[in-house]
Amino acid sequence: MPTPSSPAPKILKLPIGLKAKGERKEFDSLGTVMVPANRYWGAQTQRSLIHFNIGNDRMPHEVYHAYGYVKKAAAIVNTKHGRLPQWKGKLIQQVCDEVISGQLDEDFPLYVWQTGSGTQSNMNVNEVVSNRCIQLVGGKLGAQEPIHPNDHVNMGQSSNDTFPTAMHIAAYTMAVTKTIPALKRLQKALEKKSREWSTVVKIGRTHIQDATPLTVGQEWSGYASALADAIVDVEYATEGLLRLAMGGTAVGTGLNSPVGFGDEVAAVIAKLTGYKFQTAENKFAAQGTLDRMVRAHAGLKSASVTLFKIANDMRWLGSGPRTGLMELILPSNEPGSSIMPGKVNPTQAEAMLMVCIQIMSSDVAVQMGGAEGNFELNAFRPVLINNYLHSALIMADMCDHFREFMIEGAQLNRPKIKENIDKSVMMVTALSPIIGYDKASVISHYAIDNDLTLREAALRNGVSEELYDRVVIPINMTHPDGATSKSKKKSAAKRPAKKTTAKKTTAKKKATRR
């Protein structure tokens, strides 16, 4: 086996995988451990599998792919400054590319419920990279030579700075490649429907009761605008993840790492990923808290509140088909009942609501985990990154499904919308500025009590046909002063011309005297 001064060994071209059967012996500072012979991981990974075999929640692969960038960037910087021999640095980088691409995913089996610092996942990466490197130079797996998991793969690093760095890379990548684009696609679809239905008048509802008219386009513009606002907040919170803890090592002081290591590694990570990652200005905050991750998830929670409102409105507006609101005709994606033939349900809205509930509840876990930073280390990292990645992924997928299978195919039930306009009594609001609130209220109650249309009730209570037909025009009620502006103009036109002239003349005389 090569010594530090030995020439570089030949790098073999071997496919990923181990054909060995049974077990092999691995070791760490506590002694030897038997591990599956067909796996690359070592003693510390195996210990974690034994001690933390809890549930079915595995550390997300996105964390390990992000770790591949961390280890590769560190190897590049360490090689550049001569701390790693060229061949070792390049070999580690080569294997890190396999980690990044997901080719070694089967060798990252650890559970979320492990040490709160993420040390076991960090060592899982170190061990896998080490043994794969050893395989590629024809060495003996488990020997930890010539590539040592700690001395070489983990050079200048600690779990305490690398794990939060990997968290930020994984979370930011998920947000900008999946979640935010999906939110924007949904927002554009809502905006498109708003424009498409901009002239269709419907009855509004407040307190789930009839209110004054608005256009369907105006209603949907509210959905589109609310989601646009939420996206801005998500983007802003996500930008906070661009600051990396790398370089702080154990407690934030940077012990055992060269001066400027964090800055250089962050710059390399930025180059490798194409994202504007930078070293965190204060490593003690970056390692002692997870506040930026908490805020990033809060952005998702906030967006889920908006999505919940939109989805809830959709299922109510589409309720029916005979005895509900029935204003929207929702796509019939699948049969809705195992016992009631012909039933179709608003399943995409229901799924969206469940996703939103999950994200809101996950935010509680994220808040509590974030609050548990003690002194120089927050030791609740796994639960935070697991919840963040889960929330970001299901939000992204749900937004695309909701858009494709509900929003884009939604149609208006125009006859029902017109029927609601004809039956509404709240359009009496247009008469209120002219005949007064009290008289308008009498007309409204009279219509309801006697099951009359608003027009019939108004005519029976002293409103002329001419006034009613001139003032109560639904489309005119969808903008400020729309219902009364024409009436005021007509009233002004009927005034004697000489009175208006007289006022103007008097005003001119006064101005002249002054």
CATH fold label, 23-155: Fumarase C; Chain B, domain 1 (1.10.275)
Instruction: Encode pLDDT of 202-252 as tens digits.
Output: 999 999 999 999 999 999 999 999 999 999 999 999 999 999 999 999 999
Q: Among this protein's residues, is 337 annotated catalytic? A: yes
Helix (H) or strand (E) holding 186: helix 180-196
Active site residue: 337, 361, 441, 464, which one? 337
Q: Which two tokens stand for residue 262?
A: 């964090």
Instruction: Specify the pLDDT at position 481.
Output: 76
What is the CB neighbour count within 10 angstroms for residue 200?
A: 16
Residues 6+ apart with CB under 8 A from 104: 16, 40, 64, 95, 98, 128, 132
Going from N- to C-terminal start, the domains of the chain cover 23-155, 166-259+276-335+342-415, 425-513
Whether 166-259+276-335+342-415 shares its CATH topology with 425-513 is answered no
What is the band of 485 on the pLDDT scale with cuts at 50, 70, 90? low
Instruction: Report angle CA 301, 67, 292 to the nearest 5 degrees.
Output: 30
Residue 73 scores a pLDDT above 60: yes
Q: How confident is the model at residue 514 (pLDDT cuts 50, 70, 90)?
A: very low
Phi, psi (deg, nearest 5) at residue 206: -130, 140
The answer on pLDDT for 496 being more than 50 is: no
Confidence check: pLDDT of 448 > 60: yes
Q: Is the pLDDT of residue 489 over 70?
A: no
CATH of 166-259+276-335+342-415, one of 3.40.50.970, 1.10.10.10, 1.20.200.10, 3.40.140.10: 1.20.200.10
Q: What band does 504 get if pLDDT is binned at 50, 70 and 90?
A: very low
Contacts of 456 (CB under 8 A, 6+ apart): 447
Cβ atoms < 10 Å from Cβ of 431: 24
Tell me how far apart the alpha carbons of residues 157 and 248 are, in angstroms, rounded to a whole number: 8
Flag whether pLDDT at 110 surpasses 70.
yes
Is the separation of the CB atoms in 246 and 281 below 8 Å?
A: no
pTM: 0.92
Question: For residue 46, what pLDDT band results from cuts at 50, 70 and 90?
Answer: very high
Q: Bridge-partner residues for 36, per DSSP?
A: 23
pLDDT classification of 492: cutoffs 50, 70, 90? very low
Average pLDDT over residues 158-187: 98
| 511 pLDDT above the threshold of 70 | no
Please choose, from the candidates 57, 28, 26, 53, the residue with its C-alpha nearest in 3D space to the C-alpha of residue 39: 26
Across residues 69-87, what is the average pLDDT? 98
pLDDT > 70: percent of the chain: 92
What are the pLDDT digits (tens) for 273-311?
999 999 999 999 999 999 999 999 999 999 999 999 999
pLDDT value for 5: 60
What is the mean predicted confidence (pLDDT) over 127-133?
98
Q: What pLDDT does residue 7 have?
A: 84
Q: Which residues pair with 34 in a beta bridge?
A: 25
**Rounded mean pLDDT of 89-106?**
98
Burial class (CB in 10 A: 0-12, 13-18, 19+), 387: buried
- The CATH architecture one would assign to domain 425-513 is Orthogonal Bundle (1.10)
pLDDT value at residue 4 = 54
In the annotation, is 297 catalytic?
no
Catalytic residue among 5, 29, 207, 338: 207
Mean predicted confidence (pLDDT) in 96-117:
98
For the segment 169-177, the average pLDDT, to the nearest whole number, is 98
Tell me the pLDDT tens digit for each residue of 318-372.
999 999 999 999 999 999 999 999 999 999 999 999 999 999 999 999 999 999 9
Average predicted confidence (pLDDT) for the chain: 94
